[in-house]
Chains A and B, each alone.
Chain A
């Protein structure tokens, strides 16, 4: 088992392997997001309280899920990079960060837009939106720190440490913000206090979440390959690759 993981750690093997894997994830993402989106937008029943504005959930929830899980995956990649010195893990973490920031931004935007008809304002200091905003700053911090160093290796190691420190703080931030929100709870309608969703409502949501996760895997595989090309360009196997294709 370890031999396989170690072999997977070499960029050359990963480059070939991901070339075979990523098309599958790209098609899965396209199919799932396509069907989930159409199903959620057009065929799922409207919410009895919020009407059709609730359809934003099919975009907000998957983006929010992805935003949080990408940060955790980045922390794991950082740990693997710091402990086992597998450079590929850091290339993956570098590749994931912008997508995570993008997903957090979309989750924030869709959450805020969703709140407008219910709360009447563009920004409401709702507990989850506030935690999402802080997560967005954590992403920006990691991306900024990675680029702040002269040597790429120092930047990667610093960003890995910050990601791991950040991931320990995410649950603390989440619970303290929830606690703070219930303390100052304005008497308004909150998205969570709704009866359980009927199946024809949450099934498209499940499909969308799966679609977003396969999109994440596809993007990570492909961007990591780009990162490999960028960092290993002086290596013999890359030159042979270019030679053949050239």
Chain B
């Protein structure tokens, strides 16, 4: 362990205001991409399912409404 205590680790040898924002930004990007990914996937699936349901209704009613 390169640091002798948690406090030393957090202070990062006095460079905390530089190291942590850099790591924070990277983590933000990684998590942001993952969240955006799954949200986009869920939204697409919901849309597709809604369209499938609408088509099923139309075919059942003999397709009267366009």
Touching in the complex, A and B, CB below 8 A? yes
Q: Cβ of A117: which chain B residues have Cβ within 8 Å of it?
A: 15, 18
Interface residues of A in 208-238 (CB under 8 A from B): 215, 219, 222-223, 225-226, 229-230, 233, 238
20 CB-based A-B contacts, threshold 8 Å: A41-B23, A42-B2, A46-B2, A46-B13, A51-B13, A52-B19, A53-B13, A55-B19, A59-B26, A105-B29, A106-B29, A109-B25, A222-B37, A229-B41, A233-B44, A233-B48, A239-B48, A239-B52, A242-B51, A243-B52
Q: Could you tell me which B residues sit within 8 Å of A by CB distance?
A: 1-3, 9, 12-15, 18-19, 21-23, 25-26, 29-30, 32-34, 37, 40-41, 44-45, 47-49, 51-53, 55
> Given the interface contacts A59-B26, A102-B33, A103-B29, does A230 sit within 8 Å of B44 by beta carbon?
yes
Q: Cβ of A114: which chain B residues have Cβ within 8 Å of it?
A: 18, 22
Q: Could you tell me which A residues sit within 8 Å of B by CB distance?
A: 33, 37, 41-46, 51-53, 55-56, 59-60, 63, 98-99, 102-103, 105-106, 109-110, 113-114, 116-117, 215, 219, 222-223, 225-226, 229-230, 233, 238-239, 242-243, 245-246
Nearest Cβ on chain A to B2's Cβ, whole angstroms? 6
